[in-house]
């Protein structure tokens, strides 16, 4: 594995960041509707989708920085698209991307199996939970509520971040647009083994 990035890989991460920024903006609307129906725990139930750009980019590019870069770009483009979140949104993207990137780093950027992708979604959940704990003073909440929030966010990260990220990467791969990229090389090597 070479750690040098090609222009194509950089452009793909940028495009993924932009596409997911638009999807994230739409997801906010879905979350707001769910919040009105379900209540405050809906944030943790829906949070995993906001991690998916990092998972998809990492599954395709398979290099250090892909997860982090995609999530930061997605949050920056969200800001440019008019998200009311402000600059703090980019910090959120940095933290969420770092959570996923930490899991890929633990595998030395060599394992992109479904369990690792789901673990990366959980990594994003854990990092984001620590951040929101500080930002929103979660220490003042009841312990039972905190446990429920953490479990729901972790499951959401695994499913809406990791599992869905794997599905999206596989669908993109089957279109043929990812030929010559790391995901393609790894799949061809695995088929020959």
Q: Classify residue 1: in a domain, yes or no.
A: no
CATH of the domain at 17: 1.10.1760
pTM of the model: 0.96
Q: Hey, what are 84's tokens?
A: 């009311």
Cβ atoms of 9 and 63 within 8 Å: the answer is yes
pLDDT at 8 over 60: yes
Q: Classify residue 80: in a domain, yes or no.
A: yes
Say how many C-beta atoms besides its own lie within 10 A of residue 188's C-beta.
10
**Which residue has tokens 């990594």?**
123
CA distances from 101 to 31, 57, 66, 93, 159 (A): 25, 11, 8, 12, 17
What's the structural domain count of the chain?
A: 1
pLDDT tier at 1 (50, 70, 90 boundaries)? low
Q: Classify residue 91: in a domain, yes or no.
A: yes
Rounded mean pLDDT, 77-81: 96
What is the tens place of the pLDDT at every residue in 152-172? 999 999 999 999 999 999 999
Residue 5 backbone phi and psi in degrees, to 5: -90, 140
Q: Classify residue 2: in a domain, yes or no.
A: no
The boundaries of the domain holding residue 37 are 7-192
CA distances from 160 to 84, 122, 180 (A): 23, 10, 27
Q: Classify residue 57: in a domain, yes or no.
A: yes
pLDDT at 2 over 70: no
Q: Classify residue 45: in a domain, yes or no.
A: yes
Q: Classify residue 82: in a domain, yes or no.
A: yes
């Amino acid at each position: 594995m070479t750690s040098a990035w090609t222009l194509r890989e950089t452009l793909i991460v940028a495009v993924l960041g932009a596409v997911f920024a638009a999807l994230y903006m739409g997801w906010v609307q879905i979350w707001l509707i769910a919040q009105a129906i379900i209540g405050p725990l809906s944030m943790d139930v829906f949070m995993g989708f906001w991690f998916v750009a990092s998972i998809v980019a990492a599954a395709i590019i398979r290099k250090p920085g892909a997860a982090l870069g995609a999530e930061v770009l997605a949050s920056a483009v969200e800001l440019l698209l008019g998200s009311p979140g402000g600059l703090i949104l980019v910090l959120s993207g940095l933290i969420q991307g770092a959570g996923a990137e930490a899991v890929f780093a633990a595998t030395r950027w060599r394992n992109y199996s479904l369990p690792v992708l789901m673990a990366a979604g959980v990594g994003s959940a854990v990092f984001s939970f620590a951040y929101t704990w500080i930002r929103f003073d979660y220490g003042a909440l009841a312990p039972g509520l905190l446990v429920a929030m953490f479990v729901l966010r972790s499951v959401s990260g695994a499913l809406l971040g990791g599992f869905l990220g794997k599905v999206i990467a596989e669908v993109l791969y089957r279109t043929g647009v990812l030929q010559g990229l790391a995901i393609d090389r790894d799949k061809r090597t695995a088929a020959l083994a």
